[in-house]
Structure 1
Amino acid sequence: MENLLNIFVKSIFIDNMIFAFFLGMCSYLAVSKTVKTALGLGIAVVFVMIITVPVDFLLNKYVLVPGALSWLGADFDSVDLSYLSFIIFIAVIAAIVQIVEMAVEKFSPSLYANLGIFLPLIAVNCAILGGSLFMQKREYETLGEATSFAAGSGIGWFLAIVALAAIREKMKYSNVPAPLKGIGITFIVTGLMGIAFMSFLGIKL
């Protein structure tokens, strides 16, 4: 249990997908103009992450890694399908995103309209694929560890985009120099937030 908590907290604050690895920056910068849309996209990313990473963990453990297909019989002990990892992971992500897109369109048409093209673009959000690839590289041993990592990574991305959206809403009433208005000041704020998150690097878990 302690290990799961460590993975969860570390994924949120220390190994934050945005501030530590710069993954998912395109939608992070584009959809963070209002808190409402940032909340919607953030929740969608958390949902997709929590489903895709555990599913990819199971596929990796029981299908892709060398010898994973031994449960089919001795003839499959030497089969290695790890070269299919990218294709399988992306296919799973695309399927889950499609489900999320249909659900959002049905239950919240206004949010669906506000998110626009960035909702289906979750399928190519590198933070989602990065979660699956990090899970594979770090060789988590249990489904619980993979799920804890997925939840922490998704929540970390969610906190980052909502915090930036809140700051950008306040900046509308600030006297920002003309050359920095828009994406310029957004990059500066993102950098300052990244520096703030770096303070968590000193925490030993």
Structure 2
Amino acid sequence: MEEFSQILLLFISTILVNNFILVRFLGICPFLGVSKQIETAFSMGLATTFVMTLTAGATWLINTYILEAFNLPFLQYVSFIIVIASLVQFVEMFIKKTSPVLYKALGIFLPLITTNCAIMGLALLIPLNNYSFIASIVFGFGAGVGFTLAIVLMAGLRENLEFGDVPEALQGVPITLMIAGILALSFMGFAGMIAM
């Protein structure tokens, strides 16, 4: 039962306490670029969550059974980049085939998941924290859910801001960065709630 509670704490802390966007500041580019509409942001979040979860499992397996087994830690970056790029291509082909409208809405940001630093950060944090396979999958899924939560919250605020009376000097990028800062500050309030 303690194993389940540890996994649950890892999941919750990855979403709230160690949110990849708002606490670790990884994945800022898609956070600011795709967060103009809730539907697009949610779809991007789902695609990123899927890639993060698969990346977590794949990189753990590669790191444990190939890189550590043959004493090749210097190949971590290269092998993780290849895994991430392959998974993103798979997701891109799947979305293109099942939902052409979503594929068009995500535009350039879908192939850019490959260069999303949140996913590479995830891949590098797993061996650093010595997670088990199950913990790695939960960590990847929690990171993706936290990413989705952050990007959807930002999109909701930006959509509502369209109807607000924003001073001319703050319109566009300045108000977006202010909102992102306030969101990050609100997530910093969770720090210390869960001790890992």
Q: TM-score range by the shorter chain?
A: over 0.9
Q: 2:73 aligns with which of 63, 82, 99?
A: 82
- 1:24-60 superposed Cα distances (whole Å, 9 cap, x missing partner): 1011101000011101100000000010111100111
State the shift of 1:110 in Å. 1.0
Unaligned runs of 5+ in 2: none
Give 4+ residue runs of structure 1 displaced > 2 Å after superposition: none
Q: 1:157 aligns with which of 147, 157, 160?
A: 147
Q: 1:102 aligns with which of 93, 109, 113?
A: 93
Amino acid at match of 2:166: V
Contact 2:49 2:144 (C-alpha < 8 Å) held by counterparts: yes
Tell me how many residue pairs correspond in the alignment.
192
Is 118-127 or 101-110 further displaced after alignment?
Answer: 101-110
Return the TM-score normalized by structure 2.
0.96
Alignment of 1:4-23 (within 5 A): 4-23=7-26
Amino acid at match of 1:175: D
How far apart in 2 are the matches of 1:61 and 1:147? 14
How far apart in 2 are the matches of 1:168 and 1:54? 34
Unaligned runs of 5+ in 1: 69-78
How far apart in 2 are the matches of 1:115 and 1:181? 24
How far apart in 1 are the matches of 2:67 and 2:169? 50
How far apart in 2 are the matches of 1:181 and 1:145? 42
The answer on 1:126 being equivalent to 2:129 is no
Contact 2:13 2:194 (C-alpha < 8 Å) held by counterparts: no
State the shift of 1:202 in Å. 2.8
SS in structure 2 at match of 1:115: helix
State the shift of 1:80 in Å. 1.4
Contact 2:17 2:194 (C-alpha < 8 Å) held by counterparts: no
**What is the match of residue 179 of structure 1?**
169
**What is the match of residue 167 of structure 1?**
157
How far apart in 2 are the matches of 1:195 and 1:172? 22
How far apart in 1 are the matches of 2:97 and 2:106? 14
State the shift of 1:199 in Å. 1.0
The answer on 1:145 being equivalent to 2:148 is no
| Percent identity of paired positions between Structure 1 and Structure 2 | 42
Return the TM-score normalized by structure 1.
0.92
- Could you say if the C-alpha distance between residues 202 and 171 of structure 1 is closer, same or farther in structure 2, counting changes exceeding 3 Å? same
Q: 1:56 aligns with which of 54, 59, 66?
A: 59
User: Which is higher, the Rg of structure 1 or of structure 2?
Assistant: 1
